[in-house]
Amino acid sequence: MFYEVDKHSGIPSYIQIMNQIKKEIIIGNLKKGDSLPPVRELSKIFNVNVNTILRALERLEFEGYLEAQHGVGYFVRTDMDLKNSVFNEVSSFVEKMKKENIDLETIKLLLEEVWRNEQFSE
Amino acid sequence: MFYEVDKHSGIPSYIQIMNQIKKEIIIGNLKKGDSLPPVRELSKIFNVNVNTILRALERLEFEGYLEAQHGVGYFVRTDMDLKNSVFNEVSSFVEKMKKENIDLETIKLLLEEVWRNEQFSE
DNA sequence: CTAATTGTTATAGTTAACTATAACACAAAA
DNA sequence: TTTTGTGTTATAGTTAACTATAACAATTAG
């Protein structure tokens, strides 16, 4: 489910961790009420210090994704419940982009740009 | 064309700068042979120190996007030349996602996940 | 109640990113 | 050649991210 952070990517570890957890919630692998592994375990999984885990979890709590229960654990607080149609749209989009041999990084930047500028929609 | 970096986003400034420049190349605002503004000017535009500009530019040079000419300037080395069809695909994708009220952050994470897993393509 | 499991806080030190400032080096124009 | 505009390098200091380690606090199981 989770994988080690890349410590040489330039992106702070706690942000990578936040994104991994968010992603699991978005795709529905983590649902409302589910518990996360204990922080000491997460620390081993992501290969970072407990404090770094805590920083990520606290931010996700602040953003409303998680809830902390002292002595018990961290729990998912939101359900994404994306429609299947959304998944299908994303899949077919990815497929098209791969056929054009465009890499993920490029797509993300292009997407950001188009997202910001509305002039493309008819 | 360029805008200030967000110093509180957690993402290192030099990476934000790299992404902004890459984005201009991707969407075709910067073409092969074009020069960038002088580093001291970029420093003012992005509101960071010259050294931070240099770090971003050197990485982009290493990645093949730019070329430095001592005493002259930085020049774009690559042409993206994305097809119009690609832009159209992205636009219509963005439109659909906006209609579903999904935010950009979520889309990017979802996209990453789908990109990594091939099981969706027929 | 006690022990085990979990989250929380604190301290001290390291490293990478960033800043300010200045000097140096190359190229082009006057 | 001199000046101006450009990239380049260096030094020193600040801050944020991260680490290691330890202790403390709340919950649950026995």
Per-residue model confidence as pLDDT tens digits over A54-105: 999 999 999 999 999 999 999 999 998 899 999 999 999 999 999 999 999 9
Q: Is the pLDDT of residue A121 over 80?
A: no
> Which domains are seen in chain A, by residue range?
13-76 (1.10.10.10), 84-120 (no CATH)
Q: What is the DSSP string of A64-100?
A: TSEEEETTTEEEE-------HHHHHHHHHHHHHHHHT
pLDDT of residue B117: 86
- In the A/B pair of chains, how many CB contacts fall below 8 A? 114
Q: Is the pLDDT of residue A120 over 50?
A: no
Q: Is the pLDDT of residue B120 over 50?
A: no
A5 Cα to chain B: minimum distance (Å)? 15
Please provide residue B67's backbone torsions phi and psi, each rounded to the nearest 5 degrees: -135, 135
* Residue B69 CB neighbour total at 10 angstroms: 9
Average pLDDT, chain A: 93
Q: Is the pLDDT of residue B121 over 60?
A: no
Name the residue type at position B8: H
Average pLDDT, chain B: 93
Q: Which residue has the higher pLDDT, A121 or A6?
A: A6
Taken in order A57, A11, B45, B47, the sign of the CA dihedral is positive
CA angle A6, A100, A89 (to 5 degrees): 80
pLDDT of residue B85: 94
Could you tell me which chain B residue has the CA closest to the CA of A106?
Answer: B26
Q: Which residue has the higher pLDDT, B81 or B21?
A: B21
B119 Cα to chain A: minimum distance (Å)? 9
Average pLDDT of B53-66?
96
What residues in B contact A105, CB-CB < 8 Å? Answer: 22
Q: Which residues touch strand C (CB under 7 A)?
A: A 10, 36, 38-41, 50-51, 54, 57-58, 68-74; B 7, 12-14, 47-52, 55, 69-72
Q: Is the pLDDT of residue B81 over 80?
A: yes
pLDDT per position as a tens digit, A18-32: 999 999 999 999 999
B40 Cα to chain A: minimum distance (Å)? 24
Q: Is the pLDDT of residue A118 over 80?
A: no
Q: Which of B27, B94, B120 sits opposite A115 (nearest CB)?
A: B94
Strands A66-69 and A73-76: antiparallel
User: Which of A1, A55, A80, A105 has the alpha carbon at shortest distance from B106?
Assistant: A80
